[in-house]
């Protein structure tokens, strides 16, 4: 086997291994959207959670069947900031376009002179940090003895619908409707419903946070962090409604909402690639949009199992026609479904490993010298 053959086998083998593990949609897409899960906190799963602490952090966290947040003594933190915290945020996005929920049990709160200050359960549209993010959640504040909804869209932090509580253990829950409206529950009691954050998408990160005043300390345990998102197939009497804004023939970002059989949706920011309301009731919808003060509307009929596209032309030349079904994507989806077959994946993995092994041998094994007979002697 020559080296070019070995290199070819090595390359093809690597591709087969990649496809058997990740499919044609690839590594990034495969981990971009997570499915539903319940974390029992037998361990801290660092493939699921990104953990961030304040620069000055003296507490600790660990899992042994429940998740512990522990400040056994008073923190020696930043006296200007006044408190320190630890945040668990999901590495994966979760698709709430078909609705969903986020729940967590607060098991116990013990010790300390004032106990853990706050515990938050939240949804956020940015993977890291709070700067520029739209973060909305429900909070229990043990220090001030209240629970509330909070919104980090506004600066620095808006709390509303505050209620007092007697005991700290309980349950926090956030429900997401297909129209992007949130309902918040604390200890099984509805706190607020119909809240609409200005998200441009319902593919969101989930998370939780615990914090303590630097003059206090305590121990908090939580359990059963459950995410339900995008796992229920749409019923047969639903379809999708997509809106795209145009100005002078070019896609533009605009604001849009619809009025239809489900009522009035939340106003969303439509990116230049468009925005899709998924799994909405079939029937007639009026889509309203605004761009730089220009308002437009258009009526569309949502058909079961299909996506209807509304193009809002805010002026200038006429936008291009609505795209026809992309048969290439259908072919790619068929290939991806085939690659999801366990037998096919196993055969590709075994074949890929074999080709990588043979290719490595052909590429890196020293080439054996061929025997060359000496030239014939010449006689005079």
User: Band of the pLDDT at 372, cuts 50, 70, 90?
Assistant: low
Residue 279 predicted with pLDDT over 60: yes
Cα within 13 Å of Cα(120), Cβ side = 24
**For residue 310, which of 380, 259, 234 has the smallest C-alpha distance?**
259
Using DSSP bridges, classify how beta strands 93-95 and 33-34 pair: parallel, antiparallel or unpaired.
parallel
Cα 4 to the chain's mean position, in Å? Answer: 43
DSSP class per residue in 222-237:
EEEEEEEES-SPPPTT
State how far the Cα of 19 lies from the Cα of 193, in Å rounded to an integer: 44
| Residue 9: φ, ψ to 5° | -60, -40
Q: What is the pLDDT of residue 233?
A: 41
Residues 247-277: tens digit of each pLDDT:
888 889 999 999 988 788 878 888 887 888 8
Domain boundaries, the chain: 3-24+339-364, 32-229, 238-319
Residue 287 predicted with pLDDT over 90: yes
User: Band of the pLDDT at 203, cuts 50, 70, 90?
Assistant: confident
User: Band of the pLDDT at 290, cuts 50, 70, 90?
Assistant: very high
Tokens of 370: 């061929």
Q: What is the pLDDT of residue 256?
A: 93
State how far the Cα of 246 lies from the Cα of 350, in Å rounded to an integer: 50
Q: Which of 27-41, 50-64, 85-99 is the least confident region?
A: 27-41
State how far the Cα of 244 lies from the Cα of 312, in Å rounded to an integer: 6
Q: What is the pLDDT of residue 136?
A: 92
- Higher model confidence: residue 155 or residue 27? 155
State how far the Cα of 35 lies from the Cα of 38, in Å rounded to an integer: 10
Residues 166-193: tens digit of each pLDDT:
666 788 999 998 888 999 998 888 899 9
Residues 230-245: tens digit of each pLDDT:
544 445 567 788 899 9
Residues 326-340: tens digit of each pLDDT:
455 456 556 655 665
Residue 26 predicted with pLDDT over 50: no
Check whether domain 32-229 has CATH 2.60.120.200, yes or no: yes
Residue 117 predicted with pLDDT over 60: yes
Tokens of 50: 């990104």
- Higher model confidence: residue 37 or residue 90? 90
State how far the Cα of 242 lies from the Cα of 252, in Å rounded to an integer: 14
User: Band of the pLDDT at 88, cuts 50, 70, 90?
Assistant: very high
Task: Say if residues 310 and 298 touch (Cβ distance below 8 Å).
Answer: yes
Q: What is the pLDDT of residue 163?
A: 87
CATH class of 238-319: mainly beta
Task: Say if residues 138 and 184 touch (Cβ distance below 8 Å).
Answer: yes
Q: What is the pLDDT of residue 175?
A: 92
- Higher model confidence: residue 336 or residue 280? 280
User: Band of the pLDDT at 224, cuts 50, 70, 90?
Assistant: confident
State how far the Cα of 272 lies from the Cα of 289, in Å rounded to an integer: 13
Q: 288-323: buried (b, 16+ CB within 10 Å) or exposed (e) per residue?
A: bbbbeeeebeeebebeeeeebebbbbbeeeebeeee
DSSP class per residue in 267-321:
PEEEPTT-EEEEEEESEEEEEEEEETTEEEEEEEEE-TT-EEEEEEE-SSSPPPP
Task: Say if residues 106 and 171 touch (Cβ distance below 8 Å).
Answer: yes
User: Band of the pLDDT at 315, cuts 50, 70, 90?
Assistant: confident
Kindly tell me the burial class for residue 156, based on how many C-beta atoms sit within 10 Å of its own C-beta (0-12, 13-18, 19 or more). exposed
State how far the Cα of 90 lies from the Cα of 64, in Å rounded to an integer: 20
């Amino acid at each position: 086997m020559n080296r070019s053959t070995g290199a070819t086998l090595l390359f093809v083998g690597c591709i087969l291994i990649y496809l058997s593990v990740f499919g044609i949609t690839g590594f990034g897409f495969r981990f971009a959207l997570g499915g539903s899960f319940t974390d029992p906190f037998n361990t801290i799963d660092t493939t699921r959670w990104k953990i961030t602490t304040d620069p000055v952090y003296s507490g600790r966290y660990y899992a042994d069947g429940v998740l512990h947040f522990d400040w056994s003594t008073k923190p020696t933190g930043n006296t200007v900031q006044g408190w320190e915290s630890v945040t668990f945020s999901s590495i994966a996005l979760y698709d709430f376009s078909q609705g969903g929920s986020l729940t967590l049990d607060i098991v116990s709160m013990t010790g300390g002179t004032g106990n853990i200050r706050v515990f938050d359960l939240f949804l956020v549209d940015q993977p890291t940090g709070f700067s520029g993010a739209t973060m909305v959640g429900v909070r229990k504040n043990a220090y001030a003895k209240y629970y509330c909804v909070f919104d980090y869209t506004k600066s620095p932090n808006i709390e509303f619908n505050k209620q007092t509580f007697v005991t700290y253990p309980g349950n926090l829950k956030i429900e997401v409707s297909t129209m992007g409206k949130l309902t918040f529950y604390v200890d099984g009691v509805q706190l607020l419903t119909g809240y609409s954050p200005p998200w441009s998408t319902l593919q969101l990160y989930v998370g939780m946070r615990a914090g303590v005043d630097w003059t206090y300390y305590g121990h908090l345990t939580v359990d059963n962090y459950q995410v339900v998102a995008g796992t229920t197939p749409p019923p047969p009497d639903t379809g999708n409604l997509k809106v795209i804004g145009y100005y002078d023939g070019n896609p533009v970002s605009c604001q849009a909402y619809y009025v239809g059989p489900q009522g009035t949706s939340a106003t969303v920011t439509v990116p230049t690639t468009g925005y899709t309301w998924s799994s909405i009731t079939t029937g007639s919808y009026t889509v309203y949009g605004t761009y730089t003060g220009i308002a437009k509307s258009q009526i569309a009929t949502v058909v079961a199992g299909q996506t209807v596209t509304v193009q809002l032309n805010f002026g200038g030349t006429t936008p291009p026609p609505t795209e026809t079904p992309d048969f290439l994507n259908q072919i790619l989806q068929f290939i991806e479904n085939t690659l999801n077959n366990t037998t096919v994946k196993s055969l590709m993995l075994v074949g890929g490993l074999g080709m990588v092994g043979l290719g490595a041998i052909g590429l890196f094994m020293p080439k054996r010298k061929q025997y060359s007979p000496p030239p014939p002697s010449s006689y005079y």
